Amino acid sequence: MRMNSHILLLCWLICSRQFGEAASDLAFFLKDIGLEQHATTLERLGYGNVDDHAHWDDEEFKDFKAALVQEGVPPGHVGRLRRAIQSRRVEGACQQEVSAALPFSRPEAAAISRFLGKVGGSLEGEASGTDALLKAESLAFPGRGIDDEDAFVIAFVIVSNPVLKALKLGRNRISNMGAAAIFEGLKANVVLSTLDLTANKIG
């Protein structure tokens, strides 16, 4: 597929089960955020299990920060570690919500109607509504206010449309959860070669 490589990488990081497994390794996690030099310190202080970090409350974060500062870890590095850990918590919640919506059964009529209300008039050909979505070779919906709820409809379209080659969704309101749903749909699609998710709320 000739998709933007940074979009594919981002989607993979958001929803791949392999990410959850790899990120549990402290060295991988620290290298990913450019702080691998602190691996020994974290191990010695008992913070070596990255999976545990996702369950910390505010007090545990406070203790974590104090312990690292006492060890001489620069405050900027402590802040970067905290943000990375909090980001993993969000990604974990995102994956749970996406998984709960799988497999991609046909969305409810209200969800489809909501989506079509935003993109209506941009589908070409004699077919209308979902028939057009499932038969089009190219779909372009830039700047239509498409959000995460709509992304699940799009994911269903990706899975169910055997001829869809291009999908352009730039300048919308899709966040990590919506991108994760779309990427799950891509796993079942071998035809789509162009995907544009630029200028959304992914990251």
When comparing pLDDT for 50 and 91, which is higher? Answer: 50
Whether 150 and 176 have beta carbons less than 8 Å apart is answered as: no
Per the structure, how many domains does the chain have? Answer: 2
Q: Is 0.75 topped by the overall pTM? A: no
The answer to whether the bond into 103 is cis (omega within 30° of 0) is yes
* 140 φ, ψ (degrees, to nearest 5): -130, 115
In what helix (H) or strand (E) does residue 196 lie, and over which residues does it extend? strand 194-196
Q: How far apart are CA 203 and CA 193, in angstroms?
A: 22
pLDDT digits (tens, 9 = 90+) for 107-149: 888 888 899 899 874 444 445 566 788 888 999 999 999 999 9
Does 58 lie in the same domain as 29?
Answer: yes
Q: Which domain holds residue 63?
A: 14-100
Residue 86 resides in a domain: yes
pLDDT digits (tens, 9 = 90+) for 57-95: 778 888 988 999 999 999 899 888 888 877 766 555 555
Name the burial class of residue 171, with classes exposed (0-12), middle (13-18) and buried (19+) by CB atoms within 10 angstroms of its CB. middle
From 100, 131, 164, the end of a domain falls on 100
4-18, 94-108, 186-200: which range is least confident on average? Answer: 4-18
Does 130 lie in the same domain as 162?
Answer: yes
Give the CATH number, domain containing residue 162.
3.80.10.10
pLDDT of residue 50: 78
Sequence-separated (6 or more) residues with CB below 8 Å from residue 45 = 67, 68, 71
Q: Which two tokens stand for residue 94?
A: 């995102």
From 65, 100, 135, the end of a domain falls on 100
Give the CATH number, domain containing residue 85.
1.10.150.50
Question: Where are the alpha helices (H) located in the chain, listed in sequence order?
Answer: 5-15, 17-22, 26-32, 39-45, 50-53, 58-70, 75-100, 109-119, 129-133, 148-160, 176-186
Residue 152 has pLDDT above 50, yes or no: yes
Does 81 lie in the same domain as 22?
Answer: yes
From 44, 69, 100, the end of a domain falls on 100
